[in-house]
Structure 1
Amino acid sequence: MTSLPESSIVEQLPPSSVSVAPVAQSSSTTDATVPPLLQVGVPMIKVSAKKQKRYLFRLDADQGQIIWQSKKLRFIPIENIKELREGADARYYREQFQLAQEYEDRWLTIVYVLDGGYKTLHLISATRDIFQLWDVTLRRLYSIRQQLMSGLVSADMRQAVWEKQFWKGADDEQDQRLDFDDVERLCRRLNINPSREDLQRRFKQADSQNRGYLDFGDFKRFVKHLKARPEIDRLYKKHVNGAEGMTFAAFEQFMQTSQKSSLSRVELEHIFLRYAFCPNGKAPGSPPQTSLDLAMQSISIAKEAGPQSSLPSAESPPGTATTASSTSVPSVDDALMKLSGFTAFLLSADNSVFADQHGRTYHDMSRPLPEYFISSSHNTYLVGHQLVGESTIEGYIRALLHSCRSVELDIYDGDTEPTVYHGRTLTSKVSVRDACAAIAKYAFVASPYPIVISAEIHCSVPQQEQLVEIMKEVFGDALVWAPVDGRPKIDALPSPEDLKGRVLLKAKNLYVVEGQAVSEKEVGVETESSTSTDTSASDSDVAAELKQEWRKARQNEAELIRDLKSEFKKARGALNRVRSPGAQKVASQSVPQSPPPSGQPAKPKVKMSMELVSLLVYTVGVKCRGINKKEEYAPEHIFSLSENTANKLLKQGMMDLIKHNRTHLVRTYPKGTRIGSTNYEPHRYWSAGCQLVAINWQTFDLGYMINHAMFQRNGRAGYVLKPLALRSSDKQLLARRTKHLLNITIISAQQLPRPKDSQGREIIDKSIVDPFVEVSIHIPDWTHSPFLPEKTADAYSPPTAGNIVEATSARTVTCRTGVVKNNGFNPVWEQQICLPFDLVGDMKDLVFVRFSVKQENKEDDEPLAVYCASLGSLNLGYRHLPLHDGQLSQYLFSTLFVRIDIQDA
């Protein structure tokens, strides 16, 4: 291990900064400002695979950025951070860079998203005290940004953070004043292009003392007018109906009629009192945050506990988060909701568009495993290309922290221990021990429910035994295993609740797969007979280019396949010891009982360790022999289907697959020609009841987005209960087909993001965004074409400015609004879109809606912002959608204001 000279860091620090008082890891703090030392910046060593170099790093709380100067000014927006790792949690990288253990307690790794991909920043601080100062402060700032994005803060706090951020960005000279040119540049940054005359008028109105510049107080007046929401004003007046404010009766009617709320009167009273004003003018549920400094005082810096706040939350009863001056909670009869309170409510978590968030509702987790969709990944070890990408533990960490519950290992012989990589490709390798250690550490951070390791095992018997030893050592009591002899018969699979905190291995049991060839997945190819009829031209081109390499690979495997075929005929003794009764019945029909002809040489034994077989308990991999009454599978038998094979099964007999999936697990995975790690659309296979629909988590495309939307539900546990129609044997449920219209009014957007360069900097030029909104509805394969009303009557209202865009497939209907010119700050459309869709068995959970904000004449570019959710998890009524970038990182202030309604056709 390499040691860096301490003088390379310490000698560059000012004397006062070498020793810093330790920061207590308490659950709350009153000193929440960024320490001056971190504002000025401290030298730290930036470590990469190629070099270690010292830079000055500083924290800007107002801008929400980590900043350092290399060849260019670099920065990381704090809201883009995905994870902070310190010490032992980052040991993998320290050892990879061959640096000494002495740096471990001063090591900080920051994982963030920028320019369409994950990136890491590795830092070593000069002293332990400086490290603690950085770690605590950064986590606190990160907590603030997370609460802002989740809507768990007051409108005052949100406004205060926004004002500080944009004031700091506009005040280039740091002289605490903005002249007219500064304000004009600010408007361009805010994506708004008012006429010069209009801007001068607004500037003069804000310049209360007629000084020719705006101080911070003037600036707040200026942006208050700029951020006015006339569309909310109109909605408020409609429900107030001329009164001085919104009474509880008016609020209750709004919630029941417009918002389709099912909350009780008591629950509505609690919400009303959070945003209503007492006769004395004070808001009982609104803390007095007026600046970022005050806002930060309520944020916890504890790392183990979640961020705590004195701010009112959706779960808090009225009066528990009152201000210091509030001594009692008023009656709903005495309170009124003013426009500011109504606006704050519409933007809050109490009015979230997502119906299944913040752990408010959990699914029943006591049902057998086959009754759940399970968040699954494909080639988890890869973070890029299928042929030349990098194998790393990072893929496991990212997936597990996002509640993925099934990860994949492709295991081959290594020099001393088994290794993981994509066989017969140029991908790099990672040791099985490192991969298992990463899985063990992060398995249950985001979810307590079981992990399924889907393994393709290509290594020799001795290294199979090593694999078992490694797994037992690393996973300990969490690993599910059972002796091969004397196992009781399994009648049904256990539930996620039964298997909490457990790790299951899924791999092919070669003793059970008797008389059958190794699957195409095992030899790294797909047979021509399994090629899907809907393969795209590009996939065909890629397949042609790789055909020669695949032919060589198949020839190399041919001898092994012949050995296995012949060996299965000699394995009856072993089969009787390990097979379940159901499998024995199948084997007695399919394995010849007669001895081999005299003179025939003895066949080699099955190349599978019995120790490895002991790990296959509830997830025993077998080859799919077809799905019909002739074939019988034990409850623990699970087979994997390539995308092409699954497509054929969907066409041949979707109902047979649905029936099989009620009691058995099935895994699907992307076809081999997706060498760029693109994804299929997972809801196609969910609609047939497939549980482990594996996707490439390193690719942020539509398939990833739909998968992310599905598993945001159920408290992000990674398990979602399947719709009743896919779990019940009642055939009438699947026979029920209904037609509906999704009516969405796109009202307005707030602070749309500007396009950014590769360094994450906003591209600020003279052009202003001309935005429009495209809404797509994605329907599973239960329909051959999108349902359209027979008559274009009142039931169907196409957009008045825009047109139905040709569907990308038979399962997608898309519609778009008109364009708003020169305004990406607060564009208003107030335009209705109507999207027809059909349902089978009322399975709204499997229909997905995607909102994309795009620019005129740049329709083919990546959208400015997106939001995707299942139809079953969308609340109806007036809602603000949180907007995300193409990597599904949420923007801090960008929202889309819509009204959502569903009607029967």
Structure 2
Amino acid sequence: MSTPASIPRIVPTRQAGGGAPSSAAYTHEVTSFTPAVVEHLEKAFKRLCNSSHSGNHGLDQGAVSHLLQTIQQENAPDAGKYFPHAVNGLDNFLAYMSSALASAMGPPKKHDLSHPISSYYISSSHNTYLTGNQLYSEASTDSYRNVLLRGCRCLEIDVWDGESRSASSASSSDGEREDSQRLSPARKPGLGKKVSGHFNTIKQRARSRSNSWRGRSSSSPQRANAATPAEMPTPWKMAEDKAEPRVLHGYTLTKEVSFRAVCNAIRETAFVATDLPLIVSLEVHACLEQQEIMIDIMKEAWEGMLVDISKASEEEIERLPSPDELRNKILIKVKWAPPAAGQESNNPNDQVASSGDDENGTDGEKQKKKSSKILQALSQLGVYTRGFTFKQFDQPEASIPTHVFSLSEAKVVDMHESDGHALFSHNRDYLMRAYPSGMRVNSSNLEPLFLWRQGVQMAALNWQKWDKGMMLNEGMFAGQEGWVLKPEGYRGTIKDSDGGKPVPKRTLSLTIELCAGQNLPLPFDEKVAKKFHPYVKCDMLYGSEKFKPGDSTRNNEKLKWVSKTSKGVNPDFCGEVHQFSNVANVVEELSFIRIKVKDDNFGKDTLAAWACIRLDRLKIGYRFVHLLDEKGMESSGVLLVRIIKVFS
């Protein structure tokens, strides 16, 4: 038996969240084995030899067929190359197990991109510009570059009126930084009881700093030392001091970034990771003149990337195009303002439509929202993704092929409880975006699996936060370039040949034998391997439309298990066997195994590594689970497991 002497360092490429590092897992090799891993593989080899006519001498071709076809159910045509002899020894088995074929995650199915865009789940980001929490973190163009390179295909830009250079000169005052430090409720205990009060305080402070834009068609939070209305120039008429729209989280102390810089960053990285279409969701709080500037900036920055509006009047669009037809295109999602009858005026004030804003503020907030006015020329850029305010599923706009409803996570839950059938039916044919509650000030995430079960295409997540939501997003989109075809039964019934079929559901029994781990990454707060006490926690998260967020694990303790605690970065888990038995109504494409390696501490156990694998890509047999570290970066850590998956 011979194995390479050392494991080469895997250089982290991209952070997890959009599927890039996990997609690399099924191509990774394990180039050497620790003694504990070798011991378990030797035992497996001996068991396999029992089915061989050559006994303990090795695996004859009959035993090889039993291994690859029955135990491993290996579909790769080149798997047999590792067993070329009439009788194959342990070295051959170890060579096979060290190859990428032994990964627990299989490659994705062939990417069918021919269906309408409403028939896909789309990897989506909420408040993309923020680097941290929702109250006082920085805004950065790097956030857009980051998520695009990680596989995100739906971004969000909150656009507010700009200020002239003279007014913005005091934008980074020490006083503001002191205010942001004083207002740090996300770091205090009892946040849930205090956050509403903090929000009101912040809104009052932000409103008190509004500048001369406040009296126009929409209001914008401004800097404390901004010029008074009498001192302010008319920026869009002064080329030498021209104000441009800004991107920030309104009525908070979050810092801003220019709209032009954001558009340029998107241009640079929009189609680096993939050429599949990118949706840019605009939340417009800017006045009409600033919206004209927005249009100029987008047309300049995204020249050649925007959908041709001349080919898509409302009357002509009867069917949404496919992702394949929209390669290298940016789709702008914006509130729809229908053209006024006989409209001839060039005055932007004559080319507007009022639309309620259903995406602002905290859930349950009683204060009435002012309607925002959208310039018709800006609205026209939303060719296939036109935003309409949701009222009910039988409203006239709900049958327009190009409409998009944006609902808060709480509203989706409400609609699921009151009219779940209408919600599901709508999302078969039409686009919906769901976004986190405004109460998630620490940028925690909604549960995307619940939204996917309702057919929601765009489950917008806070990519700034590492939690269950982002782990599921990584598992869903691994190797899929941000677009995943929905399962049968979830796809459209309009102009879609396989739409309207029933949702396929089966009963699953899943057994996982936990053998050993090697090269496990240490958690961030542990520097000494001998003090590391790892254990494995495994959750099964599966797709059943009847569950609300959290139900699938809270109400059924059989859907998770925890291993015994071991020691060090190369632990031996001694072949523990854990089972999920007779789990009913499983949709493989909407079911996940999430494995976490945690450090057993006296206080809160810290995360060391994790993996999230969609059930239809979980391979059976003797496998290595390739682990990401606690920051979602690739690591050389693996778990040796045996997986038995039986459907009935």
Equivalent in the alignment of 2:580: 835
The amino acid across from 1:79 in the alignment is V
Equivalent in the alignment of 2:607: 863
Matched, 1:689 2:434: no
* 1:835–1:351 distance in 2 versus 1, CA, 3 Å: same
Equivalent in the alignment of 1:183: none
Matched, 1:641 2:407: yes
* 1:811–1:671 distance in 2 versus 1, CA, 3 Å: farther
Q: Report 1 or 2 for greater relative contact order, CA contacts < 8 Å, sequence distance ≥ 6.
A: 2
* 1:384–1:902 distance in 2 versus 1, CA, 3 Å: same
SS of 2:607's partner is: coil
SS of 1:363's partner is: coil
* 1:462–1:353 distance in 2 versus 1, CA, 3 Å: same
Give runs of aligned pairs for residues 342-361 of structure 1, distance below 5 A. Answer: 342-357=93-108, 361=109
Give runs of aligned pairs for residues 193-592 of structure 1, distance below 5 A. Answer: 226=35, 229-241=38-50, 242-263=55-76, 267=77, 270-273=78-81, 275-276=82-83, 332=84, 334=85, 336-357=87-108, 361-415=109-163, 416-483=243-310, 488-511=315-338, 518-522=356-360, 524-528=361-365, 560-561=370-371
Alignment size in residue pairs: 540
Contact 2:506 2:587 in 1 (8 A): no
Contact 2:264 2:301 in 1 (8 A): yes
Q: Which moved more, 1:494-503 or 1:510-519?
A: 510-519
Deviations 1:711-749 (A, max 9, x none): 00xx33110000002116577724x65432222111222
Matched, 1:896 2:639: yes
Deviations 1:48-105 (A, max 9, x none): xxxxxxxxxxxxxx998xxxxxxxxxxxx873454xxxxxxxxxxxxxxxxxxxxxxx
Contact 1:378 1:696 in 2 (8 A): yes
Deviations 1:281-306 (A, max 9, x none): xxxxxxxxxxxxxxxxxxxxxxxxxx
The amino acid across from 1:229 in the alignment is V
* 1:724–1:898 distance in 2 versus 1, CA, 3 Å: same
Contact 1:80 1:889 in 2 (8 A): yes
SS of 1:467's partner is: helix
- Counterpart-to-counterpart distance in 1, 2:510 and 2:120: 27
Give runs of aligned pairs for residues 88-167 of structure 1, distance below 5 A. Answer: 151-152=27-28, 158-159=31-32
* 1:824–1:380 distance in 2 versus 1, CA, 3 Å: same
Q: CA deviation at 1:752?
A: 2.5
SS of 2:623's partner is: strand
Q: Residue 719 of structure 1: which of 473, 483, 486 is its match?
A: 483
- Counterpart-to-counterpart distance in 2, 1:835 and 1:683: 19
The amino acid across from 1:843 in the alignment is V
Equivalent in the alignment of 2:534: 771
* Bigger Rg over Cα: 1
- Counterpart-to-counterpart distance in 2, 1:739 and 1:878: 23
Equivalent in the alignment of 1:657: 423
Contact 2:513 2:577 in 1 (8 A): yes
* 1:813–1:411 distance in 2 versus 1, CA, 3 Å: farther
- Counterpart-to-counterpart distance in 2, 1:485 and 1:441: 27
SS of 2:302's partner is: helix
Deviations 1:256-314 (A, max 9, x none): 11112345xxx2xx3232x34xxxxxxxxxxxxxxxxxxxxxxxxxxxxxxxxxxxxxx
Q: Residue 502 of structure 2: which of 714, 733, 736 is its match?
A: 733
- Counterpart-to-counterpart distance in 2, 1:769 and 1:638: 49
- Counterpart-to-counterpart distance in 2, 1:78 and 1:682: 30
Q: CA deviation at 1:693?
A: 0.8
Contact 2:541 2:553 in 1 (8 A): no
SS of 1:254's partner is: helix
SS of 1:608's partner is: strand
Q: Which runs of 5+ in 1 are unaligned?
A: 1-61, 65-76, 83-111, 118-144, 160-223, 277-331, 530-550, 565-606, 787-805
Give TM-score scaled by structure 2 length: 0.76
Contact 2:505 2:587 in 1 (8 A): no
Q: Residue 852 of structure 1: which of 596, 600, 604 is its match?
A: 596
Contact 2:34 2:570 in 1 (8 A): no
Q: CA deviation at 1:528?
A: 4.9
Q: CA deviation at 1:371?
A: 0.5
Q: CA deviation at 1:782?
A: 2.5
- Counterpart-to-counterpart distance in 1, 2:442 and 2:524: 24
Deviations 1:352-410 (A, max 9, x none): 211225xxx42210110010001110000011010101100111111101111100000
The amino acid across from 1:777 in the alignment is M
Contact 2:309 2:383 in 1 (8 A): yes
Q: CA deviation at 1:829?
A: 2.5
- Counterpart-to-counterpart distance in 2, 1:419 and 1:353: 45
**CA RMSD for the aligned pairs?**
3.3
* 1:681–1:812 distance in 2 versus 1, CA, 3 Å: farther
